Structure 1
């Protein structure tokens, strides 16, 4: 599972400045030349290319060294991979420590590529600029220009983004509960509220007890941005009167807050939402405590095995398009990417070596590799029916393939259309169709020196006020005072910095 909350996007992690400065002293001033070409087949080395890499994992245990899928990747790309797997919860700390230590792998998956320390490292020459090389590779040359712009620093590209569906969020709900309370899939905000209320008050599990929540939420408030999109709000930042301003300065943000407050006041959501981790959301579904969560739609395909074990009659379904005041809208998910592969100059000494490594990533995007990530290994994870792959063993796929899924960067455009189970087919169709209603963040590629310095302080002002409003500890007037505090504490400077870059970009 991958999540990036509003608070996380505002918060910027720093690196140890002294260690970083010392390390940067060893970085050269190599640059990319647009005249260079990718290595031809005859130039490629016959011996496997040895590649060290750092990446994260979300599974309970790191991928095993003898993972069969990794062996297939090595064979296809003619590489020998040395991957340092780090749990997602400790990943940013590990990146910081690794950079401070100076011993960097040749490929670093940077999860927080817009963190001030990483941006400063880029500007100081720590990483290769790779934008001019992309046109020389068949797969890398097809990377989405919009997303490349989103990851850029000063208009230059320093990494390969890991593609994700651009409109990925929606509702995962108990379909059997929906039928039990006599309702249908929600299509409007009022429908959504009515479903949440029914799940909490109409005994959907028929046990005669008032022991269920309509929706379960965690301290990251994972569903807030999606609900904000239904009301027509901006994606983290929007443009008002020619200025780039944060989403919480919009009327739609207040509307979303009021819906959360209503659900809280009526005890339709868990009252401890402000302190429980986001992982509790899936757990609440598995334990039959809640009827729905707002999450990435593909989460429905994993993490709910315990639900079926405890209640074999349970059925999950997904919904995504909710009509609000401005029609159907969804936030463009994380700028269309989650993490960026970057290439340290201290580990990659020459342009030729860089091109070889880019060649590995290009091959990792081949159709054969896309199908490996999507379907797994034939005969073990899928079989071919009517000329199409069909899933065989979902649990084996989760163990063998999902555990290494973080290696994947492609957009899945070359994968074979298969005989998916209905729920998977449904959310894949939603991913494709929902791109037309995705709302982008106009400030995605911008930088703010003020946020780099005061990001945590500014974020805390808004996050604290948001929770207090929902819990009824402050009213709308006090909320507006918190926004003013944000502005006076540096927020107005953020608006100014972003607006200058926005106007420059428009020219």
Structure 2
């Protein structure tokens, strides 16, 4: 199946002229598709992220999803690495599908589109939520607040676990080399040193990668350095986490890892797919990624010649005692309804999303059909070969789903004993972890300001880590940014936004 393409420009032009000719006022064009199709089936055109192979929408999973929700889905699947750029192009074109599913609720182009009226304000539709019982009771705390702009709700959430990523290390290698499980960053660094100096992949060379660092510092390290602790400048402005003194301390620490050969040399250009391949084929010791992949990756490691392979998500503290655990908000973006959709169909779409937030549909999204996609072993649902192929991250992208505390921890291909142990491994993460404050708030000033500096800042971070510039030069550069009038003004706005968010 190919990725769906939007209508050709000339078709859009003809339709636009027809719609303009038929407009009679109101918030939606007359003549738009307001009915639910044959037999009351709700047709939905959607833009959504692709995280696996392009799905066959005629397979057993998707046919059952459509049957249970009485829907017909027409989804344009966009590869996850292209989502940001494709969204920007989509918003610029104005040629929106009925629903846009997107993971970053504070992306500047999305906020601008919302403020320009591209999407429905869902606040009056949702009301007291009495018409949407699943959305009312099955969402993460503050879920709708994360999807609000200027106090108005513009999306329903893509529910995901707050406990998601972990700083992974090869536990079997620790045991093989008699290394204690690291509890601090210093102990972690010493463990990497011993692993890198050994021939862990058995190829006769000391070429094992220590930490797989891709594009930016894994969130757990940022939390451990206190980067996610709200930090204010001398004027009371809420500083960007990346421009805090503690972030510079973290950069210096990574600089030390890099100088000692303890992290991927090609990190600045490495892609996640390349890093994942290195980890799965026993060529790297540590990686910061979602926990629920551990079982699948362990199986790959075993097939690559290390039958005792075992992944552990570390529970460490940083230099000042901050837990090295980063949390998600419980909301991985949301589903935005185009303002071109007639009001009556908005209500139908919200009913659909409410249905997808039920426990029944959430259970289906994680495990599919019993007998086809999963079997039950020791009271634990375990995916079959067909289930592994059809039930994945992408297959969860067409509905809200109920909030599941361990949804991104347990493996659908692991048995009950495995998953119970994995939950035990991270059982206190939800209590000790931190959320990046700049991921839950935004302001006009920050959206207008930071893009002017972002690329240069990323380059300066890389230069500092690889030793092309000194830490003194990096800190001086950060100080100059923090004293820019536009950044200082943006900090003031962000402080007010954070205060309002926490009221």
2:221–2:324 Cα contact (<8 Å) kept: no
2:444: which partner in 1? 449
Instruction: Measure the CA separation in 2 of the matches of 1:304 and 1:133.
Output: 46
Partner of 1:355: 347
For the pair 1:156 / 2:148, whether they are aligned, the reply is no
Matches within 5 A, 1:30-429: 30=27, 47-59=40-52, 61-134=53-126, 135=129, 136-142=131-137, 143-218=139-214, 220-223=215-218, 225-234=219-228, 238-239=231-232, 242-302=236-296, 306-324=300-318, 325-333=320-328, 335-346=329-340, 348-350=341-343, 352-386=344-378, 388-393=379-384, 395-402=385-392, 403-413=394-404, 420-429=415-424
Q: Secondary structure at the match of 1:407?
A: coil
Contact 2:301–2:307 (Cα < 8 Å) also in 1: no
How much does 1:265 deviate? 1.0
Moved more, 421-430 or 149-158: 421-430
Q: Does 1:439 align with 2:434?
A: yes
Cα pair distance change 1:430/1:82, threshold 3 Å? farther
Q: Does the alignment pair 1:468 with 2:463?
A: yes
Deviations 1:152-199 (A, max 9, x none): 100111001212222322122222222221113222222211221111
Comparing 265-274 and 410-419, the one that deviates more: 410-419
8 Å contact kept, 1:462–1:486: no
> In structure 2, the residue corresponding to 1:328 is in which secondary structure?
coil
Q: Deviations over 1:44-92 (max 9, x none)?
A: 9952112222211111x31002121111111111112222222222223
Shift of 1:131: 3.1
Ranges in structure 2 where 5+ consecutive residues have no aligned partner? 1-12, 29-35
Asked whether the equivalents of residues 375 and 389 of structure 1 are also in contact (C-alpha less than 8 Å), the reply is no
For the Cα contact (< 8 Å) 2:251–2:464, is it kept in 1? yes
What is the match of residue 10 of structure 2? none
Q: Tell whether 2:492 aligns with 1:496.
A: yes
Report how far residue 329 of structure 1 moved.
4.7
SS in 1 for 2:275: helix
CA apart distance, 1:364: 1.1
After superposing on structure 2, the runs of 4+ consecutive aligned residues of structure 1 that deviate more than 6 Å are 25-29, 414-419
Does the residue aligned with 2:452 lie in a helix, a strand or coil?
A: helix
Query: Is the Cα contact below 8 Å between 2:208 and 2:284 reproduced in 1?
Result: yes
With the length of structure 1 as denominator, give the TM-score of the two structures: 0.82
Deviation at 1:400, TM superposition (A): 0.6
Query: Per the alignment, in what secondary structure is the counterpart of residue 273 of structure 1?
Result: coil
Contact 1:215 1:268 in 2 (8 A): yes
Distance 2:136 2:37 in 1: 19
Conserved? CA contact 1:92–1:111, under 8 Å: no
Question: CA offset at residue 382 of structure 1?
Answer: 2.1
Check the 8 A contact 1:374/1:415 in 2, yes or no: no
Q: CA RMSD in A?
A: 3.2
Contact 1:180 1:204 in 2 (8 A): no
CA distance 1:505–1:367, change in 2 (3 Å): closer
Q: Distance in 1 between matches of 2:303 and 2:502?
A: 55
- Say whether the 8 Å CA contact 2:279–2:285 is kept in structure 1: yes
Deviates more, 1:435-444 or 1:420-429: 420-429
**Matched residue SS, 2:142:** helix
Deviation, 1:344, is: 0.6
CA distance, structure 2, for counterparts of residue 310 and residue 506 of structure 1: 48
2:231 is paired with a residue of what secondary structure? strand
Change in Cα spacing, 1:310 to 1:330, as seen in structure 2 (3 Å) is closer
Offset, 1:243: 2.4
Q: When the two structures are superposed, what TM-score results if normalisation uses the length of structure 2?
A: 0.83
Counterpart CA distance in 1 for 2:359 and 2:296 is 24
Q: Closer, same or farther in 2 for the Cα pair 1:243/1:294, shift >3 Å?
A: same
TM-aligned CA distance change 1:443 to 1:261, over 3 Å: closer
Please report how far the alpha carbon of residue 368 of structure 1 lies from its aligned counterpart in structure 2 after TM superposition.
1.9
Change (3 A) 1:199 1:367: same
CA change 1:429–1:179 in 2 (3 A) is: closer
Per the TM alignment, residue 304 of structure 1 is displaced from its structure 2 partner at its CA by 5.9
